[in-house]
Structure 1
Amino acid sequence: MILNKMFYTSLWILAIFFKGCYTDRDAVEHPRIFPPFPFIESGSTLQVFCSIGKVLFPYKNASHIIWTLNDTVIAEENYLIINESVSGVIIHNITYGRAHIKCFANSPVEKQLLAQSEVKSGFPPQKPGNISCVFYYKSTLTCSWASGREAHTETSYVLIKKDEFETCPEVNCSNKTFSCSRTQEPFSDLDYCVQVKAKNNFGKVESECIPQSSPKIFKPNAPQISKIEPVPGKKQSLKVFWQKLESLRTDPTKFQIRYRAGKENSTKNVTFFGNTESTSYVLTDLWNFTNYTVAFRWTIEQSSEWSEWSTDKMGTTEEQAPLRVDLWRVIKSHQSFGNRTVRLLWKKCQEFPSSGIVNGYRVKYFKEGNVSFERSVDLNKAITGYTLNLSEEAYEVSVIAHNTVGDSPEAILRIPSMYEESNGHQIILNLNASVSSDKISLEWKTLDLEIDGYIIEWYNELETNPFKRTWQKVTNITKWISPQGTFVRLTPYNISVYPVVRGKIKAPRTITTYFHEGSPSVGPVASVYNIDKHEAIVAWKEVAKAKRNGIIFSYTILYRDDSGKKLEKTVDASVLQYQLKNLQAGTKYTVSVMANTTRGGTRGSSTTFNTKLLSVVDIILINAITGTVILCLLAVGILWTLKKHTLKRICWPKIPHPVILDCPDSSQEITLRKSPCEDETLISILQVDAHSKDYKKLHLQHLENPFGQTNGIAKEIVHCCGISHSGAQDTVKPLPQISSLEYHFKSQVFPIMEQASKVFENKEAHVQLDLNNTEFSPYLKNSVHTRLFLASDSSDKNSKRTEEPLVPLSGQPYVALDTFELFSKRS
Structure 2
Amino acid sequence: TSSPQQRFTLIPMQFFLVSGELVQSCGHIIPESPVLALGSNFTALCVLNESCLDFGNIYASQIIWKIKNRVVPKEQYREINRTVSSVTFNDTSSLATPLTCNILADGQIEQNIYGITVTVGLPPEKPKNLSCIVHQVSKLTYPMNCTWNPGRHTFLDTHFRLKYRWLQENFPDCIPKDVNNSCTITEVQFFVNMKVWVEAANALGKAESDPLILDPIEIVKPLPPHNLSVNSGVLPTVLKLSWENRISAAVMKLKFNIRYRIMGDTNWMQVPPEDTASPRTSFSVQGLRPYTEYVFSIRCMKEDGVGYWSDWSEEKTGVTTEDKPSKGPPIWRIIDVSHSPPSWSVHLMWKALEPFEANGVILQYEVTVRAKSSLSSPPEKYSVNTTNLTLKMPNGTYEVTVVARNKVGASPPSVLLIPANNSKAPVKNVRTLPKDGKLWVGWTAPNSYVLKYVIEWCLVSNSSDCIIEWQNEPGNVQGTYLKGDIKPFKCYLITVYPLYADGQGSGQSVKAYLQQDRPSKGPTVQTKKVGKAEAVLTWNHLTVDEQNGFIRSYTIFYKTIDGNETAVTVDPSKTEYTLSSLASDTLYTVRMMAYTDEGGRSGPDFTFTTQKFGKGEIEAIVVPVCLAFLLIVLLGVLFCFNKRDLIKKHIWPIVPDPSKSNIAQWSPQVPAKHNFSSKDQMYPEGSFTDVSVVEIEADDKKSFSEQDLKPFDLLKKEKSTSEGHSSGIGGSSCMSSPRQSVSDSDEGETTQNTSSTVQYSTVVLNGYRDQTPVQVFSRSESTQPLLDSEERSEDHHAGGGDSTTQRQQYFKQNGVQGETNTDRPCFERMKQITSANEGDTIGFAQLQISGQCSQLLGLGLEKNSQEAAVSDVVQASTEGQTVGPEIVEGNTPSVDEMPKSYLPQTVRQGGYMPQ
Find the aligned partners of 2:588 and 2:23 in 1 and give their Cα distance: 110
Q: Where does 1:65-214 land on structure 2 (aligned, <5 Å)? A: 65-76=63-74, 78=76, 88-95=86-93, 99-108=97-106, 110-137=109-136, 138-164=141-167, 166-174=168-176, 176-188=179-191, 190-214=192-216
Find the aligned partners of 1:620 and 1:390 in 2 and give their Cα distance: 73
1:376 is aligned to 382
Match of 1:547, SS? Answer: helix
What is the CA-CA distance between 1:277 and the residue it aligns to? Answer: 6.2
1:247 matched to 2:248? The reply is yes
Mapped contact 1:428–1:444 kept (Cα < 8 A): no
What amino acid is aligned across from residue 155 of structure 2 in structure 1?
H
Find the aligned partners of 1:35 and 1:589 in 2 and give their Cα distance: 88
2:229 is aligned to 227
Mapped contact 1:325–1:348 kept (Cα < 8 A): yes
2:813 is aligned to none
What amino acid is aligned across from residue 346 of structure 1 in structure 2?
W
What is the CA-CA distance between 1:498 and the residue it aligns to? Answer: 1.0
**Which of residues 347, 351, 370 in structure 1 aligns to 2:351?**
347
2:716 is aligned to none
What is the CA-CA distance between 1:484 and the residue it aligns to? Answer: 9.1
Find the aligned partners of 2:532 and 2:70 in 1 and give their Cα distance: 93
1:42 is aligned to 38
1:392 matched to 2:395? The reply is yes
TM-aligned CA distance change 1:569 to 1:80, over 3 Å: closer
Aligned residue pairs: how many? 619
1:502 matched to 2:505? The reply is no
Mapped contact 1:236–1:317 kept (Cα < 8 A): no
Find the aligned partners of 2:76 and 2:349 in 1 and give their Cα distance: 96
What amino acid is aligned across from residue 545 of structure 1 in structure 2?
V
What amino acid is aligned across from residue 374 of structure 1 in structure 2?
E
Find the aligned partners of 1:549 and 1:425 in 2 and give their Cα distance: 36
Mapped contact 1:596–1:602 kept (Cα < 8 A): no
Mapped contact 1:425–1:507 kept (Cα < 8 A): yes
Q: More displaced, 277-286 or 564-573?
A: 564-573
2:466 is aligned to 466
TM-aligned CA distance change 1:559 to 1:182, over 3 Å: closer
**Which of residues 415, 419, 441 in structure 2 aligns to 1:416?**
419
Find the aligned partners of 1:588 and 1:71 in 2 and give their Cα distance: 74
Q: Where does 1:240-279 land on structure 2 (aligned, <5 Å)? A: 240-247=241-248, 249=250, 251-270=252-271, 271-272=273-274, 278-279=280-281
What amino acid is aligned across from residue 125 of structure 1 in structure 2?
P
What is the CA-CA distance between 1:398 and the residue it aligns to? Answer: 3.7
1:735 is aligned to none
2:55 is aligned to 59
Find the aligned partners of 2:624 and 2:362 in 1 and give their Cα distance: 86
What is the CA-CA distance between 1:94 and the residue it aligns to? Answer: 2.2
What is the CA-CA distance between 1:502 and the residue it aligns to? Answer: 1.1
Match of 2:447, SS? Answer: coil
Match of 1:235, SS? Answer: coil
Find the aligned partners of 1:535 and 1:359 in 2 and give their Cα distance: 72
Q: How big is the alpha-carbon RMSD for the aligned residues of Structure 1 and Structure 2?
A: 4.9
What is the CA-CA distance between 1:299 and the residue it aligns to? Answer: 1.6
Q: More displaced, 531-540 or 404-413?
A: 531-540
TM-aligned CA distance change 1:570 to 1:273, over 3 Å: closer
TM-aligned CA distance change 1:342 to 1:465, over 3 Å: farther
Cα deviation, 1:735-789, whole Å, max 9, x if unaligned, reads xxxxxxxxxxxxxxxxxxxxxxxxxxxxxxxxxxxxxxxxxxxxxxxxxxxxxxx
Mapped contact 1:343–1:467 kept (Cα < 8 A): no
Cα deviation, 1:577-599, whole Å, max 9, x if unaligned, reads 57889999887776766667676
Find the aligned partners of 1:70 and 1:568 in 2 and give their Cα distance: 67
TM-aligned CA distance change 1:41 to 1:521, over 3 Å: closer
By relative contact order (CA 8 Å, sep 6+), the higher-ranking structure is 2
Mapped contact 1:242–1:280 kept (Cα < 8 A): yes
What is the CA-CA distance between 1:361 and the residue it aligns to? Answer: 4.2
TM-aligned CA distance change 1:525 to 1:339, over 3 Å: farther
Mapped contact 1:426–1:509 kept (Cα < 8 A): no
What is the CA-CA distance between 1:59 and the residue it aligns to? Answer: 1.7
What is the CA-CA distance between 1:622 and the residue it aligns to? Answer: 7.8
What is the CA-CA distance between 1:132 and the residue it aligns to? Answer: 1.9
1:511 is aligned to 510
What is the CA-CA distance between 1:92 and the residue it aligns to? Answer: 3.6
Mapped contact 1:400–1:409 kept (Cα < 8 A): yes
What amino acid is aligned across from residue 184 of structure 1 in structure 2?
E
Find the aligned partners of 1:183 and 1:325 in 2 and give their Cα distance: 63
**Which of residues 306, 326, 329 in structure 2 aligns to 1:325?**
329
What is the CA-CA distance between 1:309 and the residue it aligns to? Answer: 1.3
1:677 is aligned to none
Find the aligned partners of 1:101 and 1:584 in 2 and give their Cα distance: 84
What amino acid is aligned across from residue 372 of structure 1 in structure 2?
P
Mapped contact 1:195–1:210 kept (Cα < 8 A): yes
Match of 1:241, SS? Answer: strand
1:281 matched to 2:283? The reply is yes
1:14 is aligned to none
Match of 1:216, SS? Answer: helix
Mapped contact 2:164–2:173 kept (Cα < 8 A): no
What amino acid is aligned across from residue 201 of structure 1 in structure 2?
A
TM-aligned CA distance change 1:108 to 1:247, over 3 Å: farther
What is the CA-CA distance between 1:156 and the residue it aligns to? Answer: 2.7
TM-aligned CA distance change 1:617 to 1:233, over 3 Å: farther
Match of 1:59, SS? Answer: helix
What amino acid is aligned across from residue 160 of structure 2 in structure 1?
Y
Cα deviation, 1:702-759, whole Å, max 9, x if unaligned, reads 99568xxxxxxxxxxxxxxxxxxxxxxxxxxxxxxxxxxxxxxxxxxxxxxxxxxxxx
Mapped contact 2:428–2:446 kept (Cα < 8 A): no
1:428 is aligned to 426
TM-aligned CA distance change 1:571 to 1:82, over 3 Å: closer
Mapped contact 1:28–1:53 kept (Cα < 8 A): no
Find the aligned partners of 2:82 and 2:633 in 1 and give their Cα distance: 145
2:475 is aligned to 475
What is the CA-CA distance between 1:495 and the residue it aligns to? Answer: 2.0
What is the CA-CA distance between 1:313 and the residue it aligns to? Answer: 0.9
Cα deviation, 1:202-258, whole Å, max 9, x if unaligned, reads 2223334332123322222233243223x3222233333222332373553221123
1:236 is aligned to 237
TM-aligned CA distance change 1:416 to 1:114, over 3 Å: same
TM-aligned CA distance change 1:96 to 1:485, over 3 Å: farther
Find the aligned partners of 1:571 and 1:94 in 2 and give their Cα distance: 73
Find the aligned partners of 1:447 and 1:606 in 2 and give their Cα distance: 52
What amino acid is aligned across from residue 214 of structure 1 in structure 2?
P
1:545 is aligned to 544
Mapped contact 1:452–1:503 kept (Cα < 8 A): no
TM-aligned CA distance change 1:603 to 1:819, over 3 Å: farther
TM-aligned CA distance change 1:331 to 1:375, over 3 Å: same
Structure 2, unpaired ranges of 5+: 1-21, 644-745, 751-886, 893-915
What amino acid is aligned across from residue 149 of structure 2 in structure 1?
A
Find the aligned partners of 1:360 and 1:593 in 2 and give their Cα distance: 57
What amino acid is aligned across from residue 480 of structure 1 in structure 2?
G
Match of 1:152, SS? Answer: coil
Mapped contact 2:219–2:308 kept (Cα < 8 A): no
Cα deviation, 1:550-571, whole Å, max 9, x if unaligned, reads 5557777777789979999887
Find the aligned partners of 2:395 and 2:249 in 1 and give their Cα distance: 82
Find the aligned partners of 2:513 and 2:636 in 1 and give their Cα distance: 73
Q: Where does 1:584-595 land on structure 2 (aligned, <5 Å)? A: none
Cα deviation, 1:375-399, whole Å, max 9, x if unaligned, reads 41422xxx65444444434444344
What is the CA-CA distance between 1:315 and the residue it aligns to? Answer: 0.8
What amino acid is aligned across from residue 269 of structure 1 in structure 2?
Q
